[in-house]
Structure 1
Amino acid sequence: MPDYEKLGAFYLGKVVDPATNTATDELLLYDSTDLTTHAVIIGMTGSGKTGLGLDLIEEALMDGVPVLAVDPKGDLANLLLTFPDLRPEDFRPWVDDAEATRAGVSPDELAAQKAELWRRGLADWDQSGERIRTLREKADFAIYTPGGSAGLPVSVLKGFDAPPPEIMDDTDALRERVQGTVTGLLGLLGIDADPMRSREHVLLSNLLSSAWADGKSLDMGGLIAGIQSPPFGQIGVMPVDSFYPPKDRFELAMSLNNLLASPGFQAWTQGEPLDVGRFLFTPAGKPRVSIMSIAHLNDSERMFFVSMLLNAVLAWMRTQSGTSSLRAMLYMDEIAGFFPPNGNPPSKPPMLTLLKQARAFGLGVTLATQNPVDLDYKGLSNTGTWMIGRLQTENDKARVLEALQGATAGQNALSRAQLDTMLSGLGKRVFLMHNVHEGHPVLFTTRWTMSYLAGPITGTQIRRLMQGRKEAGGDRPKAEGQTAASPSALGAPPSASAKPVVPPGITEVYVPTSQSGVQYHAQLLAVAQVRYASTKYRVDVAGTLPLVADVTDGPIPVDWDGAAELHVDPNALEKEGAPGATYSDVPAPLLNPKNHAKWAKEAAKYVAASKPLTLWQEPGSGLLSAPGEAEGDFRARASLAGREARDAAVQKLRAKYASKVATLQDRLERAQLRVQQQQAQAQQAQLQTALNVGVGVLGALFGGGRRTTAIRSGVSGVGRSMREGQDVQAAQTELNQVAQQLQDVQNQVQAEVDALTLGAGGDLAKLDVKAKSTDVTVPLVALAWLPYTRSANGALTPAWDGAEG
């Protein structure tokens, strides 16, 4: 295993000797826990800033840390250009034909050159195609294009969902969420609204706050209706109609309606929901890098999306447990305009909050920019690591120097002149790193990226990269309640225009829907009350299990093995259907009341025998999932627990050897000082001996009474000089011994660190806890009407609340 493949260590490059500006053999290994105090990368075009950012993301993924990346230019999509076999044909689709023409070679020849360049570059940094293969195996890679069709779509405006309780219970967090959402939305309408003075902003903020306080989510239609007929009579102390007259409110409603009806608006309502947890992990719990490519958007659309995304990150963060280990990474490239020192765009408040609070939750924020003037320096006071490359102007350098001096105050800091010299001599791919967790700044050069740097990735190229995933429907889970046995999946019976007559004695319920024009299909619903208890696994939980099953006219009307869980609260079931709905025919056995009593007993037996409570266990640590926790969610939690245990063990090891290392470092410094003193004394003795011998020689040549004394003095000086030389050798020997002892201790510490294992991330053990037959009751068996919508090609899509199409 290469020296850099250490737990929790990000291999970013090699240390550079500031005296010679050349790379040394010392690896620059960045501690993953240091990233919880956030980082900033500053460097002009051509400085290597993009490569450093990709290095950081690659290393996070190698350590099992998921990444959410915002990509305004298209550079971060290069993370998907990873070719383990390093074949020319892998590079060929991504080489620039114009570059080949300028170089006087064919595109195929250029691809071969690029493949060889990457092979040599990786080898120079002790990497290979196998490390690339490992990277691809460890993480899932996805490119999203909100408001566009090239990559995976993101549903941003399908609705304004009520925040989780953690946000609702935090007045400041709720205010920021409302303000950011409304400011971004009005920005799409071209309205630059002051939250305190704009009546548009105040009205929309009150509409969102009112709905969310009642636990309701709003879609665009509901928001437009609320503008026309607000659910409250006054704003502040003024009547609504006086504060914002109906005629003026109608104009705002029309503006939003026009936005809703615009051809490009549908792209904002389709695709993955703005769910940060799903962006960070696949449903199976595999870490992801989700790249939000926004190069195709205009400025107002970018601001809207980024502010919505950052607020979603805040909401997700506040639902997580506290940790000192790195749980996830938020990377934002080209921060210009989103986090300025002056002004307060809607993206700035949530970013400031993240920089102040995310550390406690293990979320590391990394910001990258070409120009230091793009960054709010008050916010940067919460940033622990600065990586500074070549800067554009002397003014840029002066700003950074001033900020660095303030950031390094109280540490073993370099002088302004020293920092100035180091910044002035930075070459390509060379950065000055200031890390609050280290004693002093250090120069380093970045390693070769595993990803091929093809330049900004265009929309056409993103479409090519994501084509297979889009055709497969992304990684969205199957719609809840929809199974292979469901008529909705295999083609339902013909629908009648009128609702069939249901005889007395049959309980009839409707699964709630907020959609219009639905078709209801009849299925059997059995709601079981179940208790799962196990002293071995320390589990004792009770819950409700709604099951739906198809009913046929065959000899066995209900195939319970084909029953599916219906993820709808039984208390939310309704007694009437949606207006204007159509209905399917009802199978005859489902209309026989006697069958319902029999099916209740069958359902209870089926649940006891075939519907266990599934728990997951990480074999290494013995960590158990919580009841109802999905495998993917538990895998992500177990991975974090493993990193926490690893980081704690590393800190314990460092503390164990801290006093010994400190003693040896003190002895090393004294030995170095002793060598310097002995060398100075030896030089002085040699000089004095030379003078004495010179005087003696002159006396011998020209005579004089002091000739013999001078000669004796010269001989004596030679003896002293020899003794001083021996003292230098002794001091140097002692220095070497102490240095070796220190190196031995450091090697021992590193060996013990390397012996640690992450503990999670392998195969999980599946544990099934079955319910006793006496712990299962079925209080409700009913004819359930499940709503669907039918597309132009005849396919049916679940339309009940909570289902996904």
Structure 2
Amino acid sequence: MPDQPMPDYEKLGAFYLGKVVDPATNQPTDDLLLYDSTDLTTHAVIIGMTGSGKTGLGLDLIEEALMDGVPVLAVDPKGDLGNLLLTFPELAPGDFRPWVDEAEAARAGVSADDLAAQKSELWRRGLADWGQSGERIRALREKADFAVYTPGGSAGLPVSVLKGFDAPPPEIMDDADALRERVQGTVTGLLGLLGIDADPMRSREHVLLSNLLGHAWGQGQSLDMGGLIAGIQAPPFAQVGVMPVDSFYPPKDRFELAMSLNNLLASPGFQAWTQGEPLDVGRFLFTPQGKPRVSVMSIAHLGDAERMFFVSMLLNAVLAWMRTQSGTSSLRALLYMDEIAGYFPPNGNPPSKPPMLTLLKQARAFGLGITLSTQNPVDLDYKGLSNTGTWMIGRLQTENDKARVLEALQGATSGPDALSRDQLDALLSGLGKRVFLMHNVHESRPVLFTTRWTMSYLAGPITGTQIKRLMGERKASAPAVGTATPAVPSASASASGKPVVPPGITEVFVPTSHPDVQYHAQLLAVTQVRYASTKYRLDVAGVLPLVADVTDGPIPVNWDEATELRVDPNALEREGAAGATYSDVPAALLNAKNHAKWAKEAAKYVAGSRPLTLWQEPGSGLISAPGETEGDFRARASLAGREARDAAVQKLRAKYASKVATLQDRLARAQLKVQQQQAQAQQAQLQTAMSVGAGVLGALFGGGRRTTAIRSGVSGVGRSMREGQDVQAAQTEMMQVSQQLQDLQNQVQAEVDALTLTASSDLVKLDVKARSTDVTVPLVALAWLPYTRAANGMLTPAWDGAEG
């Protein structure tokens, strides 16, 4: 690359992907390739054979998104995207040493330490050539959180996929098409995991499981695997369509399906699918503190059926999350899928394809950008990719691949500046390593560019052992997944039959679906509270169920240690689970007079110590919604800042649009005038030359017209000089107009660069207290909370909402 200062590429909303390449010379120019982040809301596809630089371009795109505060969810079938975690601000050899290939060192005849030093220097020089340094890497690491998940495996962070099939949010339940897609995708993926290739319309297995999920979800209930197996054996409905269940799917055949699922449940590897983070897209995109994340879903260790199952479940979860978001024209998040082959084929309809098609069609309205990457163009559904606005095409492997891409590009390009098939063919045929042809529907014509040096070290596919090394410390220090739950009782509490509860005390049971539970008695105070503030335009009411331990000491209840019970009070039951055991009950909890006193204490405690916490972003004044977590609000405030920035940029460009258009028109007319004056000057020079030539001949050979010819030649010389002066004047005018246009464009760019995101990293905490008259306590009860006991005696909460 040329040794010259790199122009500033840290533009708001601009992704620095590389430099423009001159197609005539195939050499990089000094023009930077800055890709507008909002263009990515119309999605992108990257195509290129092995060795084309496709992986580097994908990492560039993800790095730039993170630099702009945009979170990324990345699906990684081969292990290449784990390189995003190999970022070393110091660029020291010791940082590279654990990740160099020992075999590569042996082939080069050097030690691994020497190879690490070479890689360190290579990356330092490579970054410098592209105007980057360790400081930009440090900024990248400070702006984003990096994590590698290994669903169905233990190397990285675990993902809970099969713990249960949670009921979709209301946005899905109220949309018949969306609900059908969710049910169909879930069932198809699950049956695929069992090795059953089921047609949703013809397969008895598929129809039965779909009805079971639809029935449970329609009642607002989630299903775990045990509930699904029980439902297969004894369906909660009598008919499927117009046929009796037993006629449609005889009990003996249903038992075989139940046994297949039970065998899956009992298999040694099944537990890996039930532990870890729930399949919650919001948590994959942002930390609890609202910091943008890149969550790499590494699935290289899985078999084909397991990969398809997970990808289809993940895409359906993305769909569900997307439909709960507000509309926006700014880039909210990026879904990146590497090596899409097999998941989005031109023929067939695997369970991953319907949700991907829906995402490509609808995600733009929600600011979700999708980028797909593949080596083989023939593996893509080009009709589906008609919704893709940006194509980045690298070196292709075969003529068939090139023909397929040319066909797709011709269908996607139009307008007066569109290139012909021959022109596109010539460009694609001459592509070198790391050089791509970009077709962007938001630009007038395609452009060649070469990718910049990645900040991430490209170590090759990351293995399971390496993922374990990357995530080991994080897994060891990770807190238990889930929301706050009531304190777990002492494992030494005695257990026996249910104690007798005297009259006058309300007794309730927290529902559980677990067998063999042990109930522990705690005080439950269900409070109804209203929070109102004219200052913050707030008026919201809700139910706050609190549970607290009770002792027989002088202060039976310490309200400061009370915790929220994440269970709907309407779901509380009057009887416990069959076969359960019970702890002893403190004497104070069995005294009915205490319950009336505790109701007053609970109301006083909530009014004085349980404010509704809101968050305010000081730059914009934006305030969080009731119940919105700090992390969720930070994510929303960040998006609002990008929306405000993008709107300001559009407004600024619109402000100068007429001036720019006027100068462009003047420049076009000045260029035309120069061409006309040059033509006239050339004509005058030709006439002068002819006149002077005639005069010279006359002088040599005599004749009566000699004097007239000479005079005509002298006059022609004068005209030629005047025409030359006119050319110079026209050129001067053209240069002046061109400079005025350049100055105006520089002014516009300077004002764009001066814009900043309105969202601040510092939030203001706002506590809105409830008035004592706005707190009531309709229920105080002895509540039996279910727990399960492990072999080591540890107790674990066993009610829905206690985890995840």
Describe the shift of the 1:20–1:701 C-alpha distance in structure 2 as closer, same or farther (beyond 3 A): farther
Pick the aligned partner of 2:474 from 459, 469, 475. 469
Aligned match of 1:632:
631
Per the alignment, do residues 600 and 235 of structure 1 end up closer, same or farther by CA in structure 2, a change over 3 Å counting?
Answer: closer
**Would you say the 8 A contact 1:411–1:440 is kept in 2?**
no
Secondary structure at the counterpart of residue 785 of structure 2: strand
What SS does the aligned partner of 2:223 have? coil
| Aligned-pair CA distance for 1:680 | 4.5
Distance 1:218 1:418 in 2: 57
Tell me the residue number matched to 1:439: 444
Preserved contact between residue 83 and residue 459 of structure 2 (Cα < 8 Å): yes
Q: Deviations over 1:741-762 (max 9, x none)?
A: 1121112212222222211141
Residue 5 (1) aligns with residue 10 (2): yes
SS in 1 for 2:110: coil
Matched, 1:786 2:790: no
Select between 8-17 and 790-799 the one with higher mean Cα deviation. 790-799
Match of 1:327 in 2: 332
692-701 vs 14-23, which deviates more?
692-701
Find the aligned partners of 2:156 and 2:83 in 1 and give their Cα distance: 14
Q: Deviations over 1:470-527 (max 9, x none)?
A: 11236834x4323xxx244xx4442323233333333222222111222222222222
Partner of 2:381: 376
Q: Is the 8 A contact 1:493 1:585 kept in 2?
A: no
When residues 221 and 664 of structure 1 are mapped into structure 2, their CA distance, relative to the original with a 3 A threshold, is same
**Which TM-score applies when normalising by structure 1?**
0.95
Superposed counterparts of 1:329-728, under 5 Å:
329-410=334-415, 412-473=417-478, 476-477=481-482, 479-482=483-486, 486-488=487-489, 491-683=490-682, 685-686=684-685, 715-728=714-727
Give the equivalent residue in structure 2 for 1:100.
105
1:283–1:475 CA contact under 8 A, matched in 2: no
Task: Output one character per residue of 1:412-439: Cα deviation in whole Å (capped at 9) or x when no partner.
Answer: 2122222222222212111111111111
Correspondence list, 1:24-103, <5 A:
24-103=29-108
For residue 791 of structure 2, what is the amino acid of its counterpart?
A
**In 2, Cα distance between equivalents of 1:612 and 1:190:** 52
The equivalent residue for 1:207 is 212
Give, in angstroms, the shift of residue 730 of structure 1: 2.4
Aligned to 2:25: 20
Code of the aligned partner of 1:586: V
Unaligned runs of 5+ in 1: none
Measured after TM superposition, the shift of residue 313 of structure 1 is 0.8
* Mean CA deviation greater in 76-85 or 555-564: 555-564
State the shift of 1:692 in Å.
5.8
On the 8 A contact 1:696/1:710 being kept in 2, the answer is yes
Rounded Cα–Cα distance in structure 1 between residues aligned with 2:54 and 2:641: 31
For the residue of structure 1 that corresponds to 2:269, the secondary structure is helix
CA contact (8 A) 1:495 1:582 kept: no
Distance change >3 Å, CA 100–CA 683, structure 1 → 2:
farther
CA contact (8 A) 2:78 2:339 kept: yes
Greater displacement, 664-673 / 159-168: 664-673
Match of residue 292, structure 2, among 287, 291, 302: 287
How many angstroms apart in 2 are the aligned matches of 1:749 and 1:88? 43
Distance in 2 between residues matched to 1:449 and 1:368, nearest whole Å: 17
8 Å Cα contact 1:525-1:782 kept in structure 2: yes
The residue type equivalent to 1:96 in the other structure is D
1:133 partnered with 2:133: no
Distance 1:106 1:736 in 2: 60
Match of 2:173 in 1: 168
Structure 2 match to 1:769: 768
* Partner AA of 1:591 in structure 2: L
Partner residue of 2:3? none
Q: Structure 1 residues 459, 676: CA separation in 2 closer, same or farther (over 3 Å shift)?
A: farther
Deviation at 1:770, TM superposition (A): 0.8
Question: Is contact 1:62-1:138 (8 Å) kept?
Answer: yes
Partners of 1:91 and 1:712 in 2: CA distance: 84
Q: Which residue type is aligned with residue 652 of structure 1? A: K
Matches within 5 A, 1:298-337: 298-337=303-342
What letter is aligned with 2:631? G
Match of 1:753 in 2: 752
Deviation at 1:668, TM superposition (A): 2.2
Q: Secondary structure at the match of 2:356?
A: helix
Of 495-504 and 635-644, deviating more is: 495-504
Cα pair distance change 1:468/1:394, threshold 3 Å: same
Judge conservation of contact 2:157–2:471 (CA < 8 Å) in 1: yes
Q: Which runs of 5+ in 2 are unaligned?
A: 1-5
Q: Is the 8 A contact 1:487 1:493 kept in 2?
A: no
The separation in 2 between residues aligned to 1:233 and 1:597, in whole angstroms, is: 47
Aligned pair in 2 of structure 1 residues 446, 580: CA closer, same or farther (>3 Å)?
same
TM-superposed deviation, 1:694 = 6.0
SS of the counterpart of 2:221?
Answer: coil
TM-score, normalised to structure 2's length?
A: 0.95
Query: Alignment partner of 1:76: what SS?
Result: helix
Structure 1 stretch displaced more, 108-117 or 226-235: 226-235
Q: Which amino acid aligns with 1:234?
A: Q
Deviation at 1:617, TM superposition (A): 0.8
Residues 437 and 781 of structure 1, relative CA distance in 2, 3 Å threshold: same
Local SS of the residue matching 2:418: coil
C-alpha distance in 1, partners of 2:266/2:55? Answer: 39
What amino acid maps onto 1:588 in structure 2? Answer: A
Count the aligned residue pairs: 799
The answer on whether the counterparts of 2:491 and 2:794 sit within 8 Å (CA) in structure 1 is no
Q: CA deviation at 1:72?
A: 0.8
Paired residue type of 1:753:
V
Q: 1:457 to 1:719 in 2, by over 3 A?
A: farther
CA contact (8 A) 2:392 2:439 kept: yes
Give the % identical residues.
88
Q: Give the CA deviation at 1:618.
A: 0.8
CA shift for structure 1 position 36: 0.9
C-alpha distance after superposition, 1:604-632 (max 9, x if no partner) = 22111111111111111111111121111
Pair 1:241–1:525, CA change in 2 (3 A): closer
Give yes or no for contact 1:146–1:294 (8 Å, CA) kept in 2: yes
Higher mean C-alpha deviation, range 749-758 or range 702-711: 702-711
Indicate conservation of the 8 Å contact 2:618/2:760, yes or no.
Answer: no
- 2:745 maps to a residue whose letter is Q
**What amino acid maps onto 1:458 in structure 2?**
T
1:117 and 2:138 correspond:
no
- Cα deviation, residue 225, structure 1: 2.0
Shift of 1:698: 6.5
Q: Per the alignment, in what secondary structure is the counterpart of residue 628 of structure 1?
A: coil
1:156 touches 1:269 (CA, 8 Å); kept in 2? yes
Range that drifts further, 754-763 or 491-500: 491-500
Partner of 1:387: helix, strand, or coil? Answer: strand
CA distance 1:623–1:684, change in 2 (3 Å):
same
CA contact (8 A) 2:488 2:796 kept: no
CA RMSD, 1 decimal: 2.1
- CA separation of 1:685/1:21 partners in 2, compared to 1, >3 Å: closer, same or farther? farther
Helix, strand or coil for the counterpart of 1:509?
strand
- 1:263 to 2:268 alignment: yes
Aligned to 2:235: 230
For residues 126 and 98 of structure 2, the distance between their equivalents in structure 1, rounded to whole angstroms, comes to 20
Q: Which amino acid aligns with 1:572?
A: A
Q: Contact 2:337–2:371 (CA<8 Å) still a contact in 1?
A: yes
Q: Identify which range, 6-15 or 69-78, moves more after superposition.
A: 6-15
1:377 counterpart SS class: coil
1:697 offset after TM fit, Å?
Answer: 6.0
Partner residue in 2 for 1:157:
162
Tell me, in whole angstroms, the C-alpha distance in 2 between the residues paired with 1:204 and 1:363.
31
Distance 2:462 2:708 in 1: 86
